[in-house]
Amino acid sequence: MAHDATVEQLHYISSVAGRYTLGDRPQIPGVNILACRLRAISERSLIAAAPVAGSVGDAITLRFAPFGTLRGHIARHVADGFVVVLDQTAEAQAALARRIGQFQHRRWTGMTDKRAEKRFMPAEPRSVLIRNNREMLPCLVVDYSACGAAVSAQVQPELGERVMVGQVEADVVRLFDVGFAVHFAEPQAVDDIESLLESPQEWRLAVAVLPPRTADGDDIIEFADLIGFSD
């Protein structure tokens, strides 16, 4: 398979959370703004984990603090989110490439925001939210501590509502523009909390956009397949 320059420039980034809105509707906090987690990015495309995957071809607006506001359309689905092809001018692509380079430099030299170290970001952020009426919805765990978590889903529960995030019982204690915060019914052991926040195995098929793929060889080739490059 021939490598395209876009594929070669994809950078794996798992520590950046952001927000997105599907379609061209105005952004309304608590209604249609959702959280997402960046997986990889180049100046032409990106891959993100998200609670609501939309449809192929949907317009999408995303914002990540290190990279600014990005607009494009959903090109493919992946197991926990989507691939976005960015709609940008050559000038905007060059500016984004510079921001990616600056971010990578800060990460490799340790020049990161120390405040982020107070939170934990799960390796597998997509999970399941269960409400009192037994409604089960995909959600994204933005970050967590031993006592609570920030969650994003296509609903905004009521303050004080008892919910389940993965396998952890919790109460909704705060609402914000991309989701809500929950306080766990009981403090969780730091070594166990991440696995408990994941959706149980029997529920994963209900929230997966596509079955997880097993990488065969170079991971960049896998991303190339997802975006649709060919020989």
Average pLDDT, integer, range 19-44: 84
pLDDT of residue 22: 93
> In this prediction, what percent of the chain has a pLDDT beyond 70?
74
pLDDT of residue 51: 92
What is the model's pTM? 0.74
CATH of domain 118-207: 2.40.10
Is the Cβ–Cβ distance between 127 and 143 less than 8 Å? no
Is the confidence at residue 198, as pLDDT, over 80?
Answer: yes
Query: SS3 of 103, please?
Result: helix
Tokens representing 84? Answer: 């976005």
Is the confidence at residue 144, as pLDDT, over 60?
Answer: yes
User: Is 2 or 93 the better-scoring residue by pLDDT?
Assistant: 93
Is the confidence at residue 225, as pLDDT, over 50?
Answer: no
pLDDT of residue 134: 79
Range with the largest mean pLDDT of 111-115, 192-196, 199-203: 192-196
pLDDT of residue 216: 33
Using a 10 angstrom Cβ sphere, with 0-12 exposed, 13-18 middle and 19 or more buried, the burial of residue 142 is buried
pLDDT digits (tens, 9 = 90+) for 208-224: 554 433 333 333 223 33
Grade residue 139 by pLDDT with cuts at 50, 70 and 90.
very high
Grade residue 31 by pLDDT with cuts at 50, 70 and 90.
low
What are the respective helix, strand and coil percentages of the chain, to the nearest 5? 25, 35, 40
Q: What fold is seen in the domain 5-116+218-227?
A: Thrombin, subunit H (2.40.10)
| Sequence ranges of the chain with CATH classification 2.40.10.220 | 5-116+218-227
Grade residue 46 by pLDDT with cuts at 50, 70 and 90.
very high
Tokens representing 5? Answer: 């320059």
pLDDT of residue 215: 33
Angle, CA of 200, 14 and 21, to the nearest 5°: 80
Lowest mean pLDDT across 61-70, 85-94, 173-182, 218-227: 218-227
User: Is 204 or 19 the better-scoring residue by pLDDT?
Assistant: 19
Scanning the structure block, which residue is given the tokens 């166990």? 192
What's the rounded Cα separation, in Å, for the pair 68 and 16? 12
Is the confidence at residue 202, as pLDDT, over 80?
Answer: no
pLDDT of residue 130: 92
